[in-house]
């Protein structure tokens, strides 16, 4: 919610989703219930800040030279192998070549538009993604851009389409001055830290409650 407020955007209303619905197979772009039910798009033109196309602030790199050659992963190895999907880290490799070593970047799944922010060295599993890099870090904070891209949606109705070059690079996003971007990220990170602290406190209280109940029962 904070990122919407900071940019002067109106958060789409949460709408009730049907538990049973139909989708034409020709329109099925991915196995994702929420996606196939559809979702409201954000009107970025209502932002307090000027809009810029992604291609004007982002460069992209094809990942072919960073693809892992051996998928015998082990937690004893050092280099993570990534995907842009929810799994994110598929495993760890001992390969000491073809490592992407210029973070931070955003990795972008070219078929689902899933993204991940990466601030460490890595390899990838396949070439079905793009590595997105800021053109000028004196004007754009890549963490800010990542947070904005998480709330932007595009039409994924055409199956098996590589979306970055065909659509995503033309997206327009609100871009405040770099000082404001940095302030937004600072505030967001503080809020996330507070949320995590509260989660840990809640977990500790729950554990204490179980122990008290256990002691009562045992006595």
Around Cβ 138, how many Cβ atoms within 10 Å?
A: 7
DSSP state for residue 10 in the 8-state scheme:
P
Q: What is the mean pLDDT of the chain?
A: 84
Reading the block at residue 198, the tokens are 């509260």
The dihedral formed by the CA atoms of 1, 111, 122 and 62, expressed in degrees to the nearest 10: -120
- From the list 102, 109, 160, 159, the residue with the least C-alpha distance to 134 is 102
In angstroms, rounded to a whole number, what is the distance separating the alpha carbons of residues 100 and 85? 18
Q: Give the neighbor-by-neighbor strand order of the sheet with 129-134.
A: 58-61, 129-134, 105-109, 115-118
pLDDT in tens, 87-102: 999 999 999 999 999 9
pLDDT over threshold 90, residue 136:
yes
When mean pLDDT is compared across 6-15, 112-121, 139-148, the lowest value belongs to 6-15
pLDDT in tens, 152-194: 877 776 655 788 998 899 999 999 999 999 999 999 989 888 8
Q: How confident is the model at residue 12 (pLDDT cuts 50, 70, 90)?
A: low
Reading the block at residue 81, the tokens are 């192998």
What's the predicted TM-score (pTM) here?
Answer: 0.77
What mean pLDDT comes out for the span 25-31?
46
Strand pairing category for 123-124 and 79-82: parallel
DSSP string, 161-210: --HHHHTGGG-EEE---HHHHHHHHHHHHHHHHHHHHHHHHHHHHHHHHH
């Amino acid at each position: 919610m904070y990122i919407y407020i900071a940019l002067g955007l109106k958060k789409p209303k949460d709408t009730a989703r049907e538990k049973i619905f139909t989708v034409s197979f020709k329109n099925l772009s991915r196995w994702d219930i929420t996606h196939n039910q559809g979702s409201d798009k954000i009107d970025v033109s209502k932002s307090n800040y000027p809009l810029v196309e992604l291609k004007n602030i982002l460069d992209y790199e094809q990942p072919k030279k960073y693809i892992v050659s051996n998928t015998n992963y082990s937690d004893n190895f050092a280099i993570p192998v990534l995907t842009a999907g929810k799994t994110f880290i598929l495993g760890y490799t001992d390969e000491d070549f073809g490592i992407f070593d210029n973070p931070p970047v955003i990795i972008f799944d070219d078929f689902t538009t899933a993204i991940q922010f990466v601030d460490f060295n890595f390899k990838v599993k396949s070439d079905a993604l793009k590595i997105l890099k800021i053109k000028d870090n004196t004007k754009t904070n890549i963490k800010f851009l990542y947070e904005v891209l998480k709330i932007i949606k595009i039409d994924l109705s055409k199956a098996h389409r590589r979306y970055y070059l065909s659509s995503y690079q033309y997206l327009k996003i609100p871009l405040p001055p770099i000082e404001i971007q940095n302030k937004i990220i600072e505030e967001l990170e503080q809020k996330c830290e507070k949320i995590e602290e509260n989660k840990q406190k809640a977990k500790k209280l729950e554990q204490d409650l179980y122990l008290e109940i256990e002691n009562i029962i045992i006595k």
